[in-house]
């Protein structure tokens, strides 16, 4: 790890006060509760070093600045950050100061956020939309930018990019849109029937939301309807007899890979229920019990995919390894992985020697580095006068 990250020039400018970390969480997404869970963990740890300001987004898309860090207990997710729908705060979105400025109309208090941790999992938070807003404001933020977030979120596009590179194999899949079903595309259905058993997934969703395993054509329509409830594009992917591995990656131009972890589902597959509802739904093996040679291949593949998909800051890259012939398949990249104390991303880095607090510090340093590079870009072109 680069130990000079603490010498960031932006940090020096704010040395007279604690660096202010803004945590944006919640959102209009099927992963709203997961987001609140990640936000609680980050807020509790980060507040020991930074001035933390939490901004919650409701399921309807309304933004509320929280007066403090208030953690509640959720029956399925454990500790989650509360989201009070009150307050008289205004969000001043301009790029004059490289900060996100918040103003309280009632008290006159102003808070300037130096860097943002966008912890809105899923739609409107992980897909590049929130990143685009933060870019327009001009504030540094953790994680990939607009392109990396958008490509990483869309499983269809991410798989096609990796497939076209020829560097990592892809499990056979078909992309389905709503019109394909209404027009009764027999050719498409025949292709899918030949692939059975398959997994049906929303192209743009995380946390296994909307996923079904289908073993018979008769069950396909119901699975597609379930997936289409979360996205207008669905992928149907051939099920392979495999082991599932995950690698945490961080960095900008020169990414670093963590040790390899393995997800061992105790359900038929790693469903939403296995991840968040059933505490015994899956086992996480850190490190994965595999050969050093396979671990190195997965780490190298993770960094290659990370760079190929324009990721920066952080991401988790997931793979399948065929149990019979050892083929490595790229599964997906998660540009905003779960960030609870027991989530795979921080646990992999913890095993690799980077503690949870240090991980937050390092990701903040990457955000500032990228921001400095972007600030140097020419914003206008002046044509020469004749």
User: Are both 74 and 106 inside the same structural domain?
Assistant: yes
Residue with tokens 């020991």: 48
The pair of three-digit structure tokens given for residue 217, joined into one six-digit string: 């054509």
Tokens at 157, concatenated:
């596009």
| Tally of domains in the chain | 3
d(CA 284, CA 286): 6
Mean pLDDT of 144-167: 96
Q: Are residues 226 and 245 in the same domain?
A: no
Q: Tokens for 357, please give them.
A: 């607090």
Least-confidence region, from 30-44, 143-157, 170-184, 348-362: 170-184
119, 16: one domain: yes
Cis bond leading into 73, ω under 30°?
no
20-26 vs 51-57, strand pairing mode: parallel
Q: Is residue 48 scored above 50 in pLDDT?
A: yes
Whether 158 is covered by a domain: the verdict is no
Domain membership flag for residue 41 = yes
Structural domain span for residue 181: 172-238
Residues 234 and 298 placed together within one structural domain of the fold: no
Pairwise CA distance, residues 67 & 84, whole Å: 9
The string of pLDDT tens digits covering residues 97-154 is 788 988 888 888 888 999 999 999 988 999 999 999 999 889 999 999 999 999 999 9
One domain, residues 56 and 138: yes
Residues 216 and 305 in one domain: no
Q: What is the dihedral of CA 261, 264, 269, 273, to 10 degrees?
A: -90
Range 234-245 average pLDDT: 94
Q: Residue 101 in 3-state DSSP?
A: strand
Whether residue 80 is contained in a domain is answered as yes
What is the Cα–Cα distance from 156 to 313, expressed in whole angstroms? 22
* φ, ψ at 152 (rounded to 5°): -65, -35
pLDDT digits (tens, 9 = 90+) for 76-92: 778 999 999 987 788 87
CA contacts within 13 A on the Cβ side of 204: 19
Kindly indicate the confidence band of residue 16, based on its pLDDT and cuts at 50, 70 and 90.
low
pLDDT value at residue 230: 83
Instruction: Indicate the length of the chain as a whole number.
Output: 386
The pLDDT of residue 283 is above 80: yes
Note whether residue 155 is domain-resident.
no
- Residue 161 maps to a domain: no
Cβ-contact 124, 29 below 8 angstroms: yes
The continuous run of DSSP H or E covering 302 comes out as helix 292-308
Mean per-residue pLDDT over the chain, rounded: 87
What's the pTM? Answer: 0.87
Burial class (CB in 10 A: 0-12, 13-18, 19+), 351: middle
> Is residue 347 domain-resident?
yes
Q: Looking at residue 87, what is its pLDDT?
A: 76
Same domain, 365 and 284: yes
d(CA 157, CA 179): 19
Strands 110-113 and 100-104: antiparallel
Give the end of a domain, one of 189, 211, 238.
238
| 206 and 231 in a common domain | yes
Same domain for 361 and 276, yes or no, is yes
Tell me, yes or no, whether 31 and 112 share the same domain: yes
Strand order of the β-sheet with 110-113 is 89-92, 100-104, 110-113
Which band of pLDDT confidence, cut at 50, 70 and 90, is reported for residue 280? Answer: low
Specify if 271 maps to a domain.
Answer: yes
CATH of the domain at 47: 3.40.50.20
Question: Residue 381: its pLDDT value, please?
Answer: 58
Domain boundary among 183, 216, 238: 238
Last residue of a domain, one of 221, 238, 255: 238
Q: Are 35 and 108 in the same domain?
A: yes
Q: Looking at the structure, tell me whether residues 249 and 198 fall in a common domain.
A: no
Q: How far apart are the C-alpha atoms of 32 and 58, rounded to whole Å?
A: 8
Residue 187, SS3? helix
The percentage of the chain sitting over the pLDDT mark of 70, rounded to a whole number, equals 86
Position 163 in a domain: no
Instruction: State which of 180-194, 227-241, 349-363 shows the largest mean pLDDT.
Output: 349-363
Chain segment 252-272, per-residue pLDDT in tens: 999 999 999 999 976 555 444
First-residue to last-residue Cα distance in the chain: 52
């Amino acid at each position: 790890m680069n130990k000079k990250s603490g010498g960031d020039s932006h940090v020096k400018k704010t040395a007279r006060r604690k660096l202010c970390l803004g945590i944006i969480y919640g959102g209009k997404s099927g992963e709203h509760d997961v987001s609140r869970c990640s936000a609680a963990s980050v807020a509790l740890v980060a507040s020991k070093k930074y001035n933390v300001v939490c901004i919650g987004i409701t399921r309807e898309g309304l933004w509320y600045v929280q007066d403090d860090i208030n953690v509640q207990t959720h029956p399925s997710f454990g500790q989650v950050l509360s989201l009070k729908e009150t307050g008289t705060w205004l969000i001043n979105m301009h790029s004059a100061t490289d900060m996100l400025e918040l103003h309280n109309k009632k008290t006159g208090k102003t808070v300037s956020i130096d860097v943002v941790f966008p912890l809105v999992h899923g739609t409107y938070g992980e897909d590049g939309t929130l990143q685009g807003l933060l870019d327009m404001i001009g504030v540094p933020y953790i994680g990939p930018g607009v392109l990396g977030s958008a490509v990483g979120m869309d499983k269809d596009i991410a798989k096609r990019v990796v497939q076209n590179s020829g560097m990592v194999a892809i499990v056979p899949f078909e992309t389905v849109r709503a019109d394909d079903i209404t027009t009764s595309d027999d050719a498409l259905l025949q292709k899918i029937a030949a692939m059975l058993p398959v997994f049906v997934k929303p192209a743009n969703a995380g946390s296994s939301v909307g996923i079904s395993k289908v073993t018979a054509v008769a069950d396909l329509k119901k699975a597609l309807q379930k997936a289409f409830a979360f996205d207008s594009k669905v992928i149907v992917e051939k099920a392979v007899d495999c082991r599932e591995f995950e690698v945490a990656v961080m960095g900008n131009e020169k990414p670093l890979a963590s040790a390899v972890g393995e997800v061992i589902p105790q359900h038929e597959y790693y469903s939403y229920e296995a991840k968040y509802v059933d505490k015994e739904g899956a086992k996480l093996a850190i490190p994965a019990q595999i050969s050093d040679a396979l671990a190195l291949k997965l780490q190298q593949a993770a960094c290659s995919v990370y760079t190929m998909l324009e990721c920066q800051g952080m991401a988790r890259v997931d793979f399948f390894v065929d149990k019979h012939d050892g083929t490595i398949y790229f599964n997906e990249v998660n540009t905003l992985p779960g960030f609870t104390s027991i989530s795979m991303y921080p646990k992999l880095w913890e095993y690799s020697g980077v503690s949870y607090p240090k991980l937050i510090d390092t990701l903040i340093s990457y955000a500032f580095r990228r921001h400095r590079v972007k600030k140097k870009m020419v914003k206008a072109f002046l044509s020469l006068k004749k």
